[in-house]
Amino acid sequence: MAPWSRWRSRLRVAGLGAVVVGLALLGVLLYNALFPPPTPLTPDEVDARAAEVMASATPPPPNSALVYQYILPSLVFIQTEGTNADGEEGFGVGSGVVINQSGHILTALHVVDGATAIEVGFVDGTTGTASVIGADPENDIAVLQASRTPEVIVPAVLGSPYAMSVGDEAYAVGNPLGLAGSMSAGVISGFDRSFTVGETGQRLEGLIQFDAAVNPGNSGGPLLNRAGQVVAIVTALANPAETNSFSGIGFAVPIQTAAAAAGSPDY
C-alpha cells in the first residue's frame, strides 16, 4: 500500500475515534443535565427525614380503644341485694347498657331476678335505684328504669350480629368480679347456639358464642362489634368444670331479641 494510503486510513480511524469520544462526552453531559446528582442532605434534613419514616411506620391505635370510648358513656354498673335460694341475704353485681333516650337499661334477667333492691351507676358518677319495667324470661332479658339518669343520656348504637361472621372481632365490656368498666377482646365463635343454665335448667336458644373473656359480673353487659355497636347482651359462660371462672366460651342474646323486650323501635 502506498504511504499516502496508509496515512489516509489512519486519519479515518483517528477521526472515527474522535467522533465516538465526542458522542460519549455529549451523552454524559446530557445525562447530568437530565438527571442531576442529588444534593447532599444537611444533618437537620437527615433527622427530619428519619422522623417522617418513623411516623409512617407507627401503627394506628388499636380499634379496641375506640370501641371502648364509644360504649363507655352507655355502660351501667348494677348492684343488687336480695335473698338467695338458701334464704341468705346477699349482694350481686352485673352489667347493663343504656339503649334509648328514655334511659332504659338492658341487662340479663338473672342479674336482677328476685332482687329486693337494685342500684345502678353511670360513668358520669350518677347513681340511683332502679326497677324492672320489662322482662323476657325465655331469653333471660330484663329492662330497667333508673330513678336518676345522667343529665346527658348517651344511648348505645345497636348493630346487627347477623352482618357478622365467625372469626369477626368481638368485645365484651362490663363489670366482671365487680371490676367496673372492664373490657376483653376476642372473636365470634358461632351462631344459633343453645345453653342450659345449670342452676335452673332453663334452656336458652339462638345465642351467639364468643371467646372474649367474661366472668360473673359481665352478665347483662354489651357484646360489641369492631364499630362499637351493641350486637348482643352477655348472658352466660360455659363452666364445664363447675366453676364460675371463664373457660373460653361465652354466650350472648342477639340484640334484636334483647331489644324487643324493651319495645325498641329499631327492632
Ranked by mean pLDDT, the top range of 84-98, 129-143, 228-242, 250-264 is 129-143
Q: Is the pLDDT of residue 99 over 50?
A: yes
The active-site residue, picked from 74, 95, 104, 110, is 110
Q: What is the pLDDT of residue 4?
A: 46
44 in catalytic set: no
Q: Which residue is associated with the grid cell 331479641? A: 257
140 in catalytic set: yes
Q: What is the pLDDT of residue 238?
A: 76
Would you place residue 24 in the very low, low, confident or very high pLDDT band (cuts 50, 70, 90)?
low
The pTM score is 0.74
Q: Is the pLDDT of residue 266 over 60?
A: no
Tens digit of each residue's pLDDT (9 = 90 or more) over 26-36: 665 665 666 56
Instruction: Please state, rounded to an integer, the average pLDDT across all residues of the chain.
Output: 83
Would you place residue 118 in the very low, low, confident or very high pLDDT band (cuts 50, 70, 90)?
very high
**Mean pLDDT (whole number) for 241-253:** 75
The active-site residue, picked from 140, 189, 211, 264, is 140
Tell me which of 5-14, 33-42, 96-105, 244-253 is least confident. 5-14
64-260 in CATH: which number? 2.40.10.120
Would you place residue 53 in the very low, low, confident or very high pLDDT band (cuts 50, 70, 90)?
low
Percent of the chain with pLDDT over 90: 59
Q: What is the pLDDT of residue 7?
A: 46
Q: What is the pLDDT of residue 131?
A: 96
Higher pLDDT, 264 or 200: 200
Percent of the chain with pLDDT over 70: 70
Instruction: Give dist(CA 129, CA 124) in Å, integer.
Output: 16
Tens digit of each residue's pLDDT (9 = 90 or more) over 126-157: 999 999 999 999 999 999 999 999 999 999 99
Q: What is the pLDDT of residue 63?
A: 82
Cα–Cα–Cα angle for 231, 248, 156, nearest 5°?
20
Tens digit of each residue's pLDDT (9 = 90 or more) over 65-98: 999 999 999 999 999 998 755 566 789 999 999 9
